[in-house]
Amino acid sequence: MKRALEKEGIIFLGGVTPPFRGPYIWKNMESLQFDVELPGTIQPATVHMMYDFIMESWIGFATCAQKHVGGCSKEDGIYCNAICYPNREGEDFQVSYLKHEAQHFYDQNHFPELQSTDIEYRAKLVELIYRRDHTILRKFFLEAEKNPDFSHSYAAYLILQQLSERVFNKEYEGNREEWLKIDYSYIASMSLKLYKECTEKLKKWSNRTSV
């Protein structure tokens, strides 16, 4: 399919969007360069802006194109569905897309053995660190699910669980209104601590496995 579409000038990207396989097929693309600030580093990133989709994997098919995939990280850069981010200066693009996907790119290069849930966990922490209000936290509440088969949902659940222990001193605070009472800068600082702890564990693990 990929070869046949490329002959017609159409771009094809196959693979898995957890938990299912499904193709991304689109007509036009623009490549942009960014230097993305992440905790403790600057990650250069090539962003391929995708336009004029024909098919957006199984998610587009299952929702009759009512739900979109924002993008993904590959070896040659990070891919972005342009329709999701009309404002490239806003936090949705600058933080929830660009920093999130740049973190994927960083982790895939530095910790290639990471599982999908761990990759999503770290990228979602980065969103919490750089966001300025509770907006992304509300999103995590909607998608959080204690099911390891769905990496995005399970990562959101793990973050809320671990933040609950630090912010509320309880196993899991499921009342969203209680979170909104907490100054967001404190939630961001606790998210940064979780991120740093995770990074230190990964570095120690990488040093042991490389010996």
pLDDT in tens, 118-148: 999 999 999 999 999 999 999 999 999 999 9
Cβ-in-10-Å burial (0-12, 13-18, 19+) of 171 comes to exposed
pLDDT in tens, 180-205: 999 999 999 999 999 999 999 999 88
Would you state the pLDDT for residue 208? 60
Would you state the pLDDT for residue 5? 93
**Torsion over CA: 113, 126, 165, 207 (sign):** positive
83, amino acid identity:
I
> What is the distance of C-alpha 162 from the center of its chain?
18
Q: Angle at Cα 36 formed by Cα 35 and Cα 42, nearest 5°?
A: 85
CA dist 43 to 35, 59, 101, 137, Å?
Answer: 6, 29, 10, 24
**pLDDT band for position 156 (cuts 50, 70, 90):** very high
Q: Quick count: other Cβ atoms within 10 Å of Cβ 162? A: 19
CA dist 135 to 13, 41, 117, 123, Å?
Answer: 31, 25, 22, 16
- The interaxial angle of helices 135-143 and 151-167, nearest 10 deg, is 120
